[in-house]
């Protein structure tokens, strides 16, 4: 049974990230999936749960950038890799950015059921 409250789309879209706090790190990655409440992506380093990040998610086709604050909900090493899969929970996002993600998910669910 899926406990998620928001639709989640398996999609690879670019994200620029910057950690917020004492040990600053930054870079780019791709989402593995995306919803209005969070995203999953790969990082080259371990980010412990509750670590805060500033994310810029580049929504393709419409050339929009969604900016949000996110916290690490979970992190796990990827098998046979030195990378980590990380689940981010969005906690600060403007309503217009949330609407852009909702629209993107709805359109792409329809095109790729």
Share in percent of the chain as helix, strand, coil (round to 5): 15, 50, 35
Domain count of the chain? 1
What backbone phi and psi angles, to 5 degrees, belong to 97? -65, -40
In a domain, 101, yes or no: yes
Residue 28 sits in a domain whose CATH number is: 2.40.10.220
pTM of structure:
0.88
User: Could you list the pLDDT tens digit for every one of the 113 residues in the chain?
Assistant: 344 467 889 999 999 999 998 667 899 999 999 999 999 999 999 999 999 999 999 998 788 999 999 999 999 999 999 999 999 999 999 999 999 999 999 988 876 65
In a domain, 4, yes or no: no
Contact 78, 100 (CB under 8 A): no
Domain with 60, as residue range(s), is: 14-111
The Cα–Cα gap between 91 and 88 comes to: 9
As a whole number of angstroms, the distance between CA 89 and CA 100 comes to: 17
């Amino acid at each position: 049974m899926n406990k998620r409250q928001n639709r989640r789309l398996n999609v690879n879209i670019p994200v620029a990230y910057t950690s917020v706090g004492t040990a600053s790190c930054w870079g780019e990655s791709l989402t593995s999936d995306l919803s209005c409440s969070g995203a999953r992506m790969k990082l080259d380093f371990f980010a412990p749960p509750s670590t805060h990040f500033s994310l810029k998610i580049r929504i393709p086709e419409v050339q929009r950038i969604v900016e949000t604050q996110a916290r690490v909900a979970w992190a796990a090493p990827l098998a046979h890799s030195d990378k980590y899969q990380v689940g981010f929970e969005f906690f600060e996002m403007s309503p217009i950015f949330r609407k852009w993600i909702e629209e993107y998910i709805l359109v792409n669910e329809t095109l790729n059921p």
